[in-house]
Structure 1
Amino acid sequence: MLEMLLIITSLISNSFIGFLMLYALIITFIGKRNTLTNPYEVLSELPEVSVIIPVRDEFNVLEESLSRLMVVNYPLNKLKIYIGVDKDCIKCLEVCKAFTPNVVPVIVSSKGKPAVLNELLRMVDSDYVLLLDCDSLITSNSIVDLINAIIRYDVCGVTGIPRPSNQCSGTLPKFFLVESILWQKLMAGKDYLRLIVQAPGYFTLLKRSCIELIGYWDEESLAEDNDLTLRIYALGSRIKLISSKVYIESPTKLRILIKQRIRWYKGTLEVLRRRWRLLNKMRPLLKFDAFITFISPISPTLLLIAVLSNTLLGGIYNLITIALIAPQLITPLLVDEGLDLNTKAKITLLTLPYVLVNSIASLIAVLTLLANVKIGWWRTEKYGRITTCKNAPVA
């Protein structure tokens, strides 16, 4: 009886993980046809853009982000920057004052990021809104590229490609670099097929009218950006991906990484549970991709279950485990950006522990969701580290 249960468990978990890997591989292969560009058109007049940035107490990273905004290739008289500042962060207010009159600090209560975004959006009167996090470091042409894309493609939103600004602050940011490169390749395929491209809060330009039409951000959501993304696609519009890069601070401590991943995984699964009826408004392929996208946070949990059941069964099942793990071990070696050979080898050796950490975070997210345990909106702590090293792209 126990052996039969293990066989069934192994069959289900192995099949699901294998299917997700195959699906991602196919989408990534298709994405090779999509040469990401930044469409440039000579606009007769650049529109006004409102930048909204929620801040808690991250004054140590805010100054650098605002400094980058002050030197972008965009008329400053066309930019208005709203900073949602926690009432207790006096140093954040001092940083904002140094950038007046372009920066407008708004005192907000600590109700979580979605509530702050809604409060800031209600102050905006421009047609376009740029979402940034307090640690988002944009490049000089980013806003021009985003504006050109959103006008040319007539979409609700446009986003770019993340990279770690603190790549040489430890091993975890290097894993984030690998993940961001994989994300870029996968999203390029989805963009080509007009499937789900997520609208992350650290770097997305949105039409204000679209946000108002779908009802602002869900203040109860742990993954407010994914929730907004799903509602945009259900509306019949989409998010466009371009090649502009944004540099963000990646977790350097295991504790922070685990909290971040639990929030991501649980928040994304909650979006699917609460918004699954919206999938009926989508065309078949988009509906399928939306389901796969928002159910995917359970895959690290299923991988853990698959490895355990395969190990207990032994024999040929161990070969299945190798087939599931091998691609993850090989991936860092194939990365062609920002990592030397020694670093790739080190990351490869640490891949299994890293996968285990993500699996544990996923398991906690799944269990808290099933048990209906509510967790607060955990923010990812920032330390203001901007580090460059050999072969690393400069933030």
Structure 2
Amino acid sequence: MADDISTSTSEKTGEKAGTALGAATKRGALLGAIFLMATSAIGPGFITQTTSFTAQLGAAFAFAILLSIIIDIAVQLNVWRVIGVSGMRAQDLGNKVLPGIGYVMAALVVLGGLVFNIGNVAGTSLGMDALFGLDVKIGGTISAAIAIGIFLSKKAGIAMDRLVVVLGVLMIGLTTYVAIVSGPPVGEALTQAVVPDTVDFLVITTLIGGTVGGYITYAGAHRLVDSGTTGPEQVKEVSRSSVVALLVTGVMRVVLFLAILGVVAGGVTLAADNPAADAFGHAAGEVGLRLFGMVLWAAAITSVVGASYTSVSFLVTFSPALKRRQNWLVGGFIAVSLIAFLLLNQAPTTLLILAGALNGLILPVGFGVLMWVAARRRDLLGGYRYPRWLLVIGVLAWLLTLYLGWNSLSGIADLWS
């Protein structure tokens, strides 16, 4: 009898420990989803774009920042809600809506993700250059090897979640310090955010593409599916996670813009080859340059991880064989991105800006499919009644992305020429 009680107590203790471990793993995955979206949205593309466009437009760039945040809110609230409630990834929803469209979505995201990932590898090389003075090709190779190592580890998911959280917090802290030191004209930025002197469609679309478009749209939501936090009963958890992710990205965007604006407003002309590093250097001297290297490398390596993971997540649901080899496919995706970076004779800054512009054009396709699910396919949402207010802002954001993408088409060719 005593043995039975002892066994029973041991089993209960084991069950509690297993439950606690499972809850901790789920919380870690949720936090990973939040920061995966955030770090993808504030990757090297956004840092490079923000620096280049702030130097070009000055405080007027605040309008593009504000618009990108508003569109990001409208897009991500809907994307997380539709994917989270349905429990299906975007490409699977696409094929449910119109057979074959999911494959088109996957092709567009993987293509855009590859272009963006080449830029992300380029971003790691710029970060390594600022940190250690390494040749860009050597720095990019080392960084890609680190990212591949993460996915070839036995606990790739946990490693990815922890990496993006730690580096995400580090990026925000270091950039906030530089923003304080640079002393930006906050009042002028607030005015220009509402009444800008200049409005540039290509700049706005490129920024949106670099922070919302392409694979970035689905990075956090697809990780949410992997964490098992799905279904109509999980709406509150899904909504809470998406709001936190949006707050993190919004803060980082504003802080980075103010850090660069403080330098530009002081009359400094930034170096063309690595303008962001130059801005941090002018703001905080040698320390600022090293801080920038850390910020950019952190942004880039987390974006390499996010782009590769999310792009491959668009492929693995089409075949059980692909699903079993997911981590190897992610490693291969990173390797192909590295090879392309080493072979292409384009400056890293150009690659990063071009990637944002292309992803800005991809955004309306997949997002349009998800909005159709929200509006017309309640059966795919488990009978969930989709909030009308959320649907309205989602449709308006989709129409705006169509308009911006059309107006920027003529300018994309100029980036490559």
Query: Shorter-chain TM-score category?
Result: under 0.3
Q: Which has the higher contact order (CA 8 A, sep 6+)?
A: 2
